[in-house]
Structure 1
């Protein structure tokens, strides 16, 4: 699922603001693609991966990893990313990912067990 917002009209040159954002929910991970502006009104991209984790104390928390990408690096980054994607596509079948829910995970576990039909027990 992809969500986005555009905040370009509210940009103040003296603050670092989020200008545009897309959120991609992919299974147990969520990716945030955030365009922000420097004080000089130069745009840059932050890519954040967020994963829900269980702490030792039993409480849930979010583990986050962030990359900052500046516009002078966009072209090299995109070229390299496309090259990696092309390699993967050429060398491994891409299987469409389905959204995981607790019900799906439970049904995956249950599928490891044999189905018993109680009508067969009397025979």
Structure 2
């Protein structure tokens, strides 16, 4: 292969694999994160080069290896790209899969869900208490 052509190919591969994080952040038009124990799910609405929107679903799981000073933390990530023309079929399939699980197996409540729910309840109660005590003091 021609050395110039080879260099151009390597540069293109580098651009594809390294990517420009600033460019990737710019294409996100909406983002929602869902924390679930050691996992975080990201729902990112992005635009492609044709300005068409699609959904990028990312599961990020924290992996801790070793103990003491030798602890190494890494994140395992899995992505799914869902395009507008597939939304309806995907939702139907997802709803069917969830219904199947709910009918056949009780979903276990884990400690971290219960703690999260307790925090949510405390926050809600505090908001309710503070919202019921509205005091306005305006001096002119």
- Report the TM-score, using the length of structure 1 for normalisation: 0.62
| Structure 1 or 2: more helix by fraction | 2
Within a 5 Å distance, the mapping from 1:42-53 to structure 2 comes to 42-53=52-63
Higher normalized contact order (CA 8 Å, seq sep 6+, divided by chain length): 1
Looking at CA atoms only, which structure, 1 or 2, has the larger radius of gyration? Answer: 2
Within a 5 Å distance, the mapping from 1:1-123 to structure 2 comes to 17-55=27-65, 58-99=71-112
* C-alpha RMSD of the superposition: 2.1
Superposition deviation, residue 62 in structure 1: 0.8
After the TM superposition, which of the residue ranges 25-34 and 88-97 deviates more from structure 2? Answer: 88-97
CA distance in structure 1 between the partners assigned to 2:77 and 2:93 by the alignment: 23
After the TM superposition, which of the residue ranges 24-33 and 49-58 deviates more from structure 2? Answer: 49-58
Superposition deviation, residue 16 in structure 1: 6.0
Contact between 1:36 and 1:44, CA under 8 Å: does it hold in 2?
A: yes
| Structure 1 or 2: more strand by fraction | 1
- Report the TM-score, using the length of structure 2 for normalisation: 0.55
Q: Which runs of 5+ in 1 are unaligned?
A: 1-14, 101-123
> How big is each residue's C-alpha offset from its partner over 1:15-47, in whole Å with a ceiling of 9 and x where there is no partner?
961011110000011100100011222110111
Count of residues in correspondence between the two structures? 86
After the TM superposition, which of the residue ranges 48-57 and 81-90 deviates more from structure 2? Answer: 48-57
